[in-house]
């Protein structure tokens, strides 16, 4: 068994789509409506994000969604690339005791986006 996707509620599909495309290289895979929800899948390699916008819901609270972590082969290079696109880390790069290198960013709805080399 392996992870299929990570889903998160967002305030604006367009704003979140632009964020993940611009800063992390995701591409739109498919979109559809399910009841009152608008659903958008983004994909990059084997990684898939499901963004869910439900009109009238208080989506995107930081208490409901803690973080998403992307595995990278060269953290310094990836952080540099994201910085060039205008997104600054809120913490890191850091070297953890287990040898992992990490950096953290905020997404458009306050979600924490982590990059991990290790």
HEC states along 19-38? HHHHHHCCEEEEEEEECCEE
CATH superfamily of 65-118: 2,3-Dihydroxybiphenyl 1,2-Dioxygenase, domain 1 (3.10.180.10)
Task: Give the tens place of pLDDT for each residue, 41-62.
Answer: 999 999 999 999 988 766 444 4
Q: Where are the domains of the chain?
A: 1-55, 65-118
The total of other beta-carbon atoms located within 10 Å of residue 68's CB is 16
pTM: 0.79
Residues 3-21, mean pLDDT to the nearest whole number: 91
Residue 4 confidence class, pLDDT cut points 50, 70, 90: confident
Beta-carbon contacts of residue 32 (< 8 Å; ≥ 6 apart): 39
């Amino acid at each position: 068994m392996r992870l299929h996707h990570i889903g998160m509620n967002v305030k604006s599909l367009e704003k979140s789509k632009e964020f993940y495309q611009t800063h992390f290289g995701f591409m739109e895979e498919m979109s559809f409506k399910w009841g009152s929800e608008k659903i958008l899948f983004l994909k990059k390699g084997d990684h898939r994000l499901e963004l869910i916008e439900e009109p009238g819901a208080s989506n995107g609270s930081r208490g409901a969604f803690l973080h998403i972590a992307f595995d990278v082969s060269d953290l310094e290079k990836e952080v540099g690339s994201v910085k060039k696109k205008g997104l600054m880390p809120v913490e890191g790069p850091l070297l953890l005791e287990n040898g992992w290198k990490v950096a953290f960013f905020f997404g458009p709805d306050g979600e924490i986006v982590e990059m991990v080399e290790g």
